[in-house]
């Protein structure tokens, strides 16, 4: 069962269900509050009965000018005092005679309503003490206000509260009916005549109206809680399914990728934030895969480029060790070859470090005048045999945010390539243009141009047509700088009317990628 629930909801859905149920079940404490409220109501009801008994006792106390105890006048007073209070008031003598009874002519309001047996019969043994009151269980009796209320109970004078009242003390008593939740409250108040107890005001009241109202409150609360629990479970199941299932699929895909299955498909699932997470995860996976492939290809290219000079150095060293060092000319030739290979390795390492720095650059962008920056680079790249000339579509400053160090490196690479391939005395033309969204820098030389067979690979790492001095990384570095600036580096098609190669560096004016 637990495994099925976890499979259906997942850990997130299960926790969501438990939290929601906890929130819904908090109002269950209201049921306990209802019990506390019931006890408070019964206590307040008893206090009201005591006040009523005291008031009636004061009206009935015998004085010099008072009517005789048990007179019709007092009967009428007693009836009016008990009217609309749902109480029965009797005046009892020591012999047990009932002198006055507010319900002598019947209950003014008829029978009390029936209370459904929700609370159950309290487990109170006859004569036990409950909540500070003496509680006794009586036999079953009719809900009519009649003498049937006394059926199964001791005679009036023998009751504990009545006997105590005849000693001059006020007394209260609580009785529970057999096979019924009804509780009856009794209050006995002594009536004095010249400091002598001559009678007892005996007040009885049923708790049925209070219990009925509490029952209705509890029934309503239980109904609401039941519906809330059902809806909570259904909503939690739905949320658990919509959240947990997509995340589980993403988790499975992540585990497959972590095990080395880079071609594992990443599902685009769910909606809203879950879908955004899926798309972000898929994008991250593609970028990581591309980065891993780049690193793998980069390592293979580096190994290939380093292999030739290292092999040459090792061969020369072996020959020198086998006796070639005895021949001065051979020794000088081999040492010269070793020096050339070391220089090539040094250039390769320097260029690789430069490329790595640019690709991982965190240099902040700064606002610069592009025309002034290009002019400064052209001055640095010019030689006695080659002048780098800068033209612009406008004389106004072209301002954009750039990584200055990286951009200068890219421009120097392009200008140096153009100078190296241009015949002596020829100029290298650099043209700067811009619109609202991008800026372009064209670098054109007067050299032989790029053969069609090489154009597709011209931007690959370590590709070069100059086997003597080139490392094949200059254009790769310039392309990486363009990409970091949200732009591109392209090679214009060959033009018979204008010989030479023309590279176009495009930079975005909107942003620079971090």
Residues belonging to the chain? 514
pLDDT, position 177: 67
State whether 352 and 375 are in the same domain. Answer: no
**Mean pLDDT, rounded, of the chain:** 75
pLDDT, position 505: 92
Burial class (CB in 10 A: 0-12, 13-18, 19+), 392: middle
Query: Mean pLDDT over residues 447-463, rounded?
Result: 78
Q: How far is CA 16 from CA 12, 13, 19, 233, 361, in A?
A: 6, 5, 5, 10, 44
Report the distance separating Cα 458 and Cα 481, nearest Å.
16
Query: Mean pLDDT over residues 333-349, rounded?
Result: 82
Residue 121 forms part of a structural domain: yes
How far is Cα of residue 210 from the mean position of the Cα atoms in its chain?
A: 45
Angle between helices 328-359 and 273-321 (to 10 degrees): 170
pLDDT, position 492: 85
Predicted structure pTM score: 0.48
Report the distance separating Cα 247 and Cα 251, nearest Å.
6
- Percent residues over pLDDT 90 in the chain: 4
Q: How far is CA 339 from CA 319, 471, 498, in A?
A: 15, 16, 40
Q: How far is CA 246 from CA 240, 253, 364, in A?
A: 10, 11, 39
Tokens standing for 223? 């109904």
* End-of-domain residue from the set 359, 394, 415: 359
State whether 58 and 186 are in the same domain. Answer: yes
pLDDT at 135 over 60: no
Mean pLDDT lowest among 219-228, 257-266, 484-493: 257-266
pLDDT, position 146: 39
Better-scored residue on pLDDT, 201 or 298 = 201
pLDDT at 405 over 80: yes
- Percent residues over pLDDT 70 in the chain: 76
pLDDT, position 431: 92
Report the distance separating Cα 175 and Cα 173, nearest Å.
7
pLDDT at 291 over 50: yes
Q: Which residue has the tokens 């299960």?
A: 14
Mean pLDDT lowest among 19-28, 128-137, 297-306: 128-137
State whether 379 and 339 are in the same domain. Answer: no
Report the distance separating Cα 443 and Cα 416, nearest Å.
10
Better-scored residue on pLDDT, 95 or 376 = 376
pLDDT, position 136: 38
Model pLDDT for residues 63-98, shown as the tens digit of each residue? 555 566 667 777 777 777 776 677 888 888 888 888
Residue 244 forms part of a structural domain: no
The band of 154, judged by pLDDT with boundaries at 50, 70 and 90, is: low
CATH number at residue 485: 3.30.565.10
pLDDT at 403 over 80: yes
pLDDT, position 325: 64
**Coarse DSSP helix, strand, coil percentages of the chain, rounded to the nearest 5 percent:** 50, 15, 30
* End-of-domain residue from the set 215, 237, 260: 215
Domain count, the chain: 3
Residue 376 forms part of a structural domain: yes
Instruction: Please report the DSSP string for 181-207 in residue order.
Output: --EEEEEEEEEEETTEEEEEEEEEEE-
State whether 373 and 430 are in the same domain. Answer: yes
State whether 204 and 73 are in the same domain. Answer: yes
Residue 57 forms part of a structural domain: yes
Contact 12, 250 (CB under 8 A): no
Report the distance separating Cα 238 and Cα 234, nearest Å.
6
pLDDT at 243 over 70: yes
Better-scored residue on pLDDT, 121 or 163 = 163
Mean pLDDT lowest among 75-79, 144-148, 399-403, 442-446: 144-148
pLDDT, position 132: 35
Beta-bridged to residue 205, according to DSSP, are 87, 185
Query: Mean pLDDT over residues 456-473, rounded?
Result: 70
pLDDT, position 506: 92
pLDDT at 54 over 50: yes
Query: Mean pLDDT over residues 394-410, rounded?
Result: 84
Containing domain of residue 120, as a range? 11-15+24-215
pLDDT, position 109: 46
Residue 314 forms part of a structural domain: yes
State whether 345 and 411 are in the same domain. Answer: no
State whether 209 and 66 are in the same domain. Answer: yes
Tokens standing for 353? 């470090």
SS (H, E, C) 309-321: HHHHHHHHHHHHH
Residue 408 forms part of a structural domain: yes
State whether 29 and 86 are in the same domain. Answer: yes
Query: Mean pLDDT over residues 189-203, rounded?
Result: 86
State whether 372 and 431 are in the same domain. Answer: yes
pLDDT, position 421: 85
Residue 221 forms part of a structural domain: no
Close Cβ partners of 432 (under 8 Å, ≥ 6 residues apart) = 370, 371, 374, 390, 391, 392, 393, 398, 439, 440, 441
């Amino acid at each position: 069962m637990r495994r099925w629930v976890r499979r259906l909801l997942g850990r997130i859905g299960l926790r969501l269900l438990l939290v929601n149920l906890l929130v819904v079940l908090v109002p269950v404490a209201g049921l306990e509050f209802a019990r506390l409220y019931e006890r408070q109501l019964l206590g307040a009801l008893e206090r009201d009965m005591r006040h009523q008994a005291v008031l009636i006792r004061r009206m009935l106390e015998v004085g010099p000018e008072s009517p005789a105890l048990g007179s019709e006048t007092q009967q009428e007073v007693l009836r009016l005092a008990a009217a609309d209070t749902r109480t029965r008031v009797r005046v009892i003598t020591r012999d047990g005679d009932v002198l006055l009874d507010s319900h002598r002519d019947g209950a003014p309001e008829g029978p009390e309503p029936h209370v459904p047996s929700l609370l159950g019969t309290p487990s109170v043994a006859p004569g036990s003490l409950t909540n500070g009151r003496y509680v006794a269980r009586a036999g079953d009796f009719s809900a009519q206000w009649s003498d049937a209320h006394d059926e199964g109970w001791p005679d009036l004078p023998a009751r504990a509260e009545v006997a105590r009242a005849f000693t001059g003390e006020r007394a209260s008593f609580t009785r529970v009916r057999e096979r019924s939740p009804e509780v009856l409250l009794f209050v006995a108040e002594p009536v004095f005549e010249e400091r002598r107890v001559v009678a007892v005001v005996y007040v009885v009241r049923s708790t049925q109206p209070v219990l009925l109202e509490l029952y209705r409150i509890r029934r309503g609360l239980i109904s609401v809680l039941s519906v809330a629990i059902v809806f909570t479970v259904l909503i939690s199941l739905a949320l658990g399914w919509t959240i947990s299932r997509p995340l589980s699929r993403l988790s499975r895909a992540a585990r497959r990728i972590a095990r080395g299955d880079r071609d594992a498909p990443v599902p685009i699932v769910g909606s809203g934030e879950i879908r955004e997470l899926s798309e972000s995860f898929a994008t991250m996976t593609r970028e990581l895969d591309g980065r891993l492939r780049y690193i793998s290809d980069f390592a293979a290219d580096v190994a290939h480029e380093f292999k030739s000079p290292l092999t040459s150095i090792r061969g020369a060293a072996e020959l020198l060790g086998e006796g070639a060092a005895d021949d001065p000319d051979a020794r000088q030739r081999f040492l010269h070859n070793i020096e050339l290979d070391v220089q090539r390795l040094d250039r390769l390492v320097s260029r690789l470090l430069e490329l790595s720095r640019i690709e991982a650059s965190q240099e902040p962008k700064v606002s610069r005048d592009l025309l002034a920056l290009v002019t400064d680079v052209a001055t640095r790249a010019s030689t006695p045999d080659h002048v780098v000339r800068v033209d612009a579509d406008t004389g106004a400053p072209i301002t954009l945010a750039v990584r200055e160090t990286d951009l200068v490196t890219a421009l120097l690479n392009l200008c140096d390539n153009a100078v190296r391939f241009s015949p002596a005395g020829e100029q290298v033309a650099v043209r700067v243009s811009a619109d609202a969204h991008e800026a372009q820098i064209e670098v054109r030389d007067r050299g032989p141009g790029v053969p069609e067979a090489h154009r597709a690979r011209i931007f690959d790492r370590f590709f070069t047509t100059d086997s003597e001095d080139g490392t094949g990384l200059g254009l790769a570095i310039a392309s990486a700088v363009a990409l970091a600036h949200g732009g591109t580096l392209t090679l214009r098609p060959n033009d018979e009317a204008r010989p030479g190669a023309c590279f176009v560096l495009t930079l975005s004016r909107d942003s620079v990628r971090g």
